[in-house]
Every structure is written in structure tokens, then in C-alpha cells.
């Protein structure tokens, strides 16, 4: 199986220094856990300085898709993935220190016409396909089977990255892919950057003035999903239930 891990140039949240993103290094480990997989990294950018340390975390090869610093990487990544034709593309569920929107894997999957599974914490190959364990809220896990080729993003609660080994970084190789004619500069970020300011914490209205136990209950229950669990329901019953829920939360007006 050919596995390609997308690596972005991250920034350490405290130091601001350029370096690989931990969740992408965790993706490298998941890729390596598939056993016998032909594992390589892919970075689109002017150079591989920021991501080269990934070679010390269990990656033997790294492809660099040369790209102007401010260009939109989507097209370049699409071209590189088509050229390298991996069975599985792994990515972190979001970057670190950039826009960190977590949208790129979806956009890339859409461009490639591949299915995407988000927030994997474990992978296992299963014949021609793949079994992924997905991280859901509150520690829940869901096992999904998917056919390859596919795109899978990795969740931060996946096993931590393999330890850094300088000798492996030293012996790892970086291969430059042919230059890509950038189709467009990255769209200007539709937001501005401001220093972070801590917001005052709001106490849930229902619990304000209530006992400590009530406030705790309100704080913890607010996050729970509610709803009903239907096991193997009749399609018509299921549809009716979905419609009722959508009406209840105001998505459908009638």
C-alpha cells in the first residue's frame, strides 16, 4: 500500500518556531503502523526546512512540491498527489500556526474525487480496504471501513508521534517534484489577527444562582447530544425521526 502523509509548515504555539505539526507526525506514525506500507511525506512550499524534522519521526522519504510562499497549496497538492498516486492520503485534522481551518483535506479530497474520513486514531489494512477508528466527542470511538483510494485525517488523540531520531533525519531523503505553475495566489484570509484576550466565563443561565451540583450538572449536560437511539429502524420511521429532529432544532421551518 502506498501512503502519502501531507505535512504543513507549522509553528510551535509558544516559541513560534517553524517545525512539523504534531498531529501530522502522529499521522506518520499511523501510516507506519500499517506495516509494509510504502510511506512518504509531501510538503508544498518554498523549501522543506520546517518539515524536514518529520524525517526523524519515522518518515524515510519526503517529497517537496516547490511552490511560491504565498500561493494556494491546493492545486499543487492535487497535482503532486495525482503524480505520486498513493492509495491513502493522510493529513492532520488541522495545521498549527497558520489559518488552522482544517478545511484543506476536505478541499483536496473533493478535487481528487476521493472519499474522506475525518479524525482517525487508529488504522488497519483490511484486504483492499482500510479500517479506521474515528474519534468522536467525549472519548467515543467509531470504526469505519473504507475503500481505497481515500483521504483520512488524523485526530490529536491518536498515539503520539514516534520519538525524534536525529540519525534518521540525517539519512532521510528529500525529493523535489517538478515545479508547479501556481494557478492562483491564496485567497486573502477573510479575517484579521488580533492578540488573544481571555473572555469572561459565562455561567449557564439555567444554573445561575443554583447549587454547585446543579451548576456542574448544567455545565456537563449541556454538551451531551440528547435525542433517541434507533437500532435498525424502518426507513420511513427513521426519516420521520430525522425530520422531527430538524424541525425541533429549527433547521426546517415546518
Partner 1 sequence: MTPAPTLALLVLILAALAVAQALRRARLWRRGRPAHVDWLAGLKALPRRYLHDVHDVVARDPYAARMHAIAAGGLITASVLGVFGLVPALGHSPVYGALLALAFAAALAGGVMVGRRRSPVKPARLSGGRFRLVPPALTAYAGGGLLVGIAILAGPGFAALGWLGVALAAAGAAVLVYLLGDGPMRHVFAGALHLAAHPRSDRFEGGRETALHPVDLAAPQKLGAETPADFAWNRLLGFDACIQCGRCEVACPAFAAGQPLNPKKLIQDLVGSLAPGGAPYAGSPYPNARPVAGVGGPELPIVGLGAMVHPDTIWSCTTCRACVEECPMMIEHVDAIVDLRRFQTMELGAVPEKAVQPLLDLRQAEEPGGRALAARGDFAAGLALPKIQDRPAEARPAEVLLWLGEGAYDLRYGRTLRALVRLLGAAQVDFAVLGAEERDCGDLARRLGDEATFQDLARANIATLSRHRFGRILTADPHALHVIRNEYPAFGGHLEVVHHSSFLDELVAGGRLAVGDLGAALPGAVTYHDPCYLGRYNGETEAPRRLLDRLGLERREMARSGKRSMCCGGGGGAPVADIEGERRIPDLRMGQASETGAAIVAVACPTCTAMLEGVTGARPEVRDIAELLLAAVEAAPPAAAPARQRQPEPVA
Q: Can you give the binding site for partner 1, defined by CB under 8 A?
A: 12, 14-15, 17, 19, 22, 53, 56-58, 160-168, 170
C-alpha cell at 161: 508521534
**Closer CB to partner 1, residue 58 or residue 75?**
58
CA distances from 12 to 20, 22, 195, 252 (A): 9, 9, 16, 43
Task: Find the shortest distance in angstroms from Cβ 25 to partner 1.
Answer: 9
**Closer CB to partner 1, residue 96 or residue 134?**
96
Task: Find the shortest distance in angstroms from Cβ 243 to partner 1.
Answer: 48
**Closer CB to partner 1, residue 32 or residue 79?**
32
Return d(Cα 185, Cα 194) in angstroms, integer.
23
Residue 181 burial class via C-beta count within 10 angstroms: exposed 0-12, middle 13-18, buried 19 and up: exposed
**Closer CB to partner 1, residue 9 or residue 151?**
9
Instruction: Choose among 89, 93, 100: nearest CA to 154.
Output: 93
Task: Find the shortest distance in angstroms from Cβ 122 to partner 1.
Answer: 18
Residue 251 burial class via C-beta count within 10 angstroms: exposed 0-12, middle 13-18, buried 19 and up: exposed
Task: Find the shortest distance in angstroms from Cβ 163 to partner 1.
Answer: 4
**Closer CB to partner 1, residue 32 or residue 117?**
32
Task: Find the shortest distance in angstroms from Cβ 229 to partner 1.
Answer: 37
Residue 176: DSSP 8-state: E
Amino acid at each position: 500500500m502506498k501512503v502519502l502523509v501531507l505535512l504543513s509548515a507549522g509553528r510551535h504555539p509558544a516559541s513560534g518556531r517553524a517545525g512539523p505539526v504534531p498531529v501530522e507526525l502522529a499521522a506518520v506514525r499511523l501510516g507506519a503502523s500499517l506495516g509494509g506500507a510504502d510511506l512518504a511525506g509531501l510538503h508544498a512550499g518554498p523549501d522543506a526546512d520546517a518539515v524536514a524534522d518529520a524525517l526523524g519521526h519515522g518518515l524515510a522519504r519526503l517529497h517537496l512540491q516547490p511552490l511560491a510562499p504565498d500561493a494556494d497549496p491546493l492545486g499543487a497538492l492535487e497535482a503532486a498527489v495525482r503524480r505520486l498516486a498513493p492509495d491513502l492520503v493522510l493529513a492532520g485534522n488541522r495545521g498549527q500556526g497558520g489559518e488552522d481551518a482544517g478545511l484543506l483535506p476536505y478541499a483536496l479530497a473533493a478535487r481528487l474525487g476521493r472519499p474522506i474520513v475525518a479524525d482517525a486514531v487508529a488504522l488497519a489494512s483490511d484486504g483492499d480496504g482500510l479500517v479506521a477508528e474515528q474519534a468522536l466527542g467525549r472519548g467515543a470511538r467509531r470504526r469505519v471501513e473504507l475503500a481505497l483510494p481515500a483521504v483520512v485525517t488524523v485526530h490529536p488523540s491518536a498515539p503520539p508521534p514516534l520519538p525524534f531520531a536525529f540519525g534518521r533525519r540525517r539519512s532521510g531523503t528529500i525529493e523535489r517534484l517538478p515545479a508547479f505553475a501556481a494557478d492562483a495566489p491564496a485567497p486573502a484570509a477573510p479575517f484579521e489577527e488580533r492578540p488573544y484576550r481571555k473572555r469572561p466565563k459565562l455561567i449557564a443561565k439555567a444554573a445561575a444562582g443554583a447549587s454547585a451540583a446543579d451548576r456542574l450538572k448544567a455545565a456537563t449536560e449541556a454538551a451531551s447530544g440528547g435525542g433517541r437511539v434507533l437500532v435498525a429502524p424502518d426507513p420511513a420511521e427513521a426519516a420521520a425521526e430525522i425530520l422531527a429532529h430538524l424541525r425541533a432544532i429549527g433547521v426546517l421551518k415546518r
